[in-house]
Amino acid sequence: MTLCFTREDLDTPAAQYMRNIKTPVNYAQKEEVSKSELRGGMNFAFAGSGVLDVSFSPFPLKMQVDKFREQIEQNVYTKIDLENSVALVSYTGNDYMYKTKKGGGTLKDVFDLTKTVVDLLTKNLREIRDLGVQKIAIFGTPPRGCFPDYYIELLQSCDETWNEASRWHNKLLEESLQDLNKESNGSKFVYLDLYNAFISALFNKNKGTTGYEDRFKACCQGGPMECFSFALAKKKCDHPELSIFWDGAHPSQYGANAGEFANSDMVESKQQQTCQMDYPNKSP
C-alpha cells in the first residue's frame, strides 16, 4: 500500500503527468532534507502494508494518511500546496495475500473480504480529499493469478480464480470512485488500470514486449529474505533487466514499466518510480 503526495499540477492526462514528476522525499528521510525538497512532496509508503490493521505490515493506509495529516498540521504544506498537488495511492492486494498465506483463508474468503477492503480504501481516499488534495489517483489491483506464486506452470496458465478476484476488486473500486466523483466539490479521482497494463505486457507480443525472459517466471528464486534486495539475491536470472517479475509476488523494475506497453492512459513507468515501495529503516 502506497500513499504518495506530490506538489504538481494534474491538468494533463494521468499517464503523461506521472512521467514528468520527480520522486518525492520518503517520509523516513524527511529530517535529512531541506524544506524546499519537502515542498516537492512526500512518499508515505511502507512495504507490505494494506488497509486492514492485520497484514504483512503494522502500518496500514490509515496510519499513512495520519502521518500526512501531521505534516499539514505542522505547516509543511499549505492550502495552496494541497490544491495544486496530486496524491497517488497504490493498493495491489496485500490484505488478500495475507488472508491466504498467513491467515489460513481461502479464495472464497478473499471474495468475501473484497467489499470491506474497498470500503476502507474509499474511506481513506475521502479523508485524503478532505485534507485538501483535489486530485487523487489510485491503482487497481494487478492480475494476481499471473504472478509466479500463483501461475500454474503445469498448465502454462494463470490462476483465473485469482484473476477474477482482482477484477472483482477493481470493479468495486471503480464504482466507488464514480460515487466519490459525484460528491467531488471540485476534486477528481482517477482510476489507474494496472490489471490491463500487466495483461498487455504479459500476453501481447505486438506491443514491444519481445525480448523478455520467461514472462511468468521470477528472476529471483527464493523466499522474501533471499530476494530482499538485488545485491543479496544469490539465485537470480541471467538477465534481470528482461524479467517482468523480481520474485513470486513482486514485479521487477522492468515489470513495473508494464504500462509502457499498454494504452497511454494506463499506468506508465514513471508512476512506479514516483512512489516506489521503499523499505525505510524508521517507522512512519
pLDDT tens-place string over residues 130-155: 999 999 999 999 999 999 999 988 77
The reported pLDDT for the residue numbered 11 is 36
State the Cα–Cα distance between residues 226 and 264, nearest whole angstrom: 35
- Give the Cα-Cα-Cα angle 237, 195, 263 (nearest 5 degrees): 95
* Domain ranges for the chain: 2-206+255-274
Kindly tell me the sign of the dihedral angle through the C-alpha atoms of 158, 162, 164, 169: negative
Handedness of CA 104, 109, 110, 115 (dihedral sign): negative
Q: DSSP states of 181-220 as a string?
A: HHT-TT-EEEEE-HHHHHHHHHH-TTSS-TT-S-TTSBSB
pTM for the structure as a whole: 0.81
Q: How far apart are CA 233 and CA 227, in angstroms?
A: 5
- pLDDT tens figures, 177-225: 999 999 867 889 999 999 998 898 888 765 454 445 578 888 888 766 6
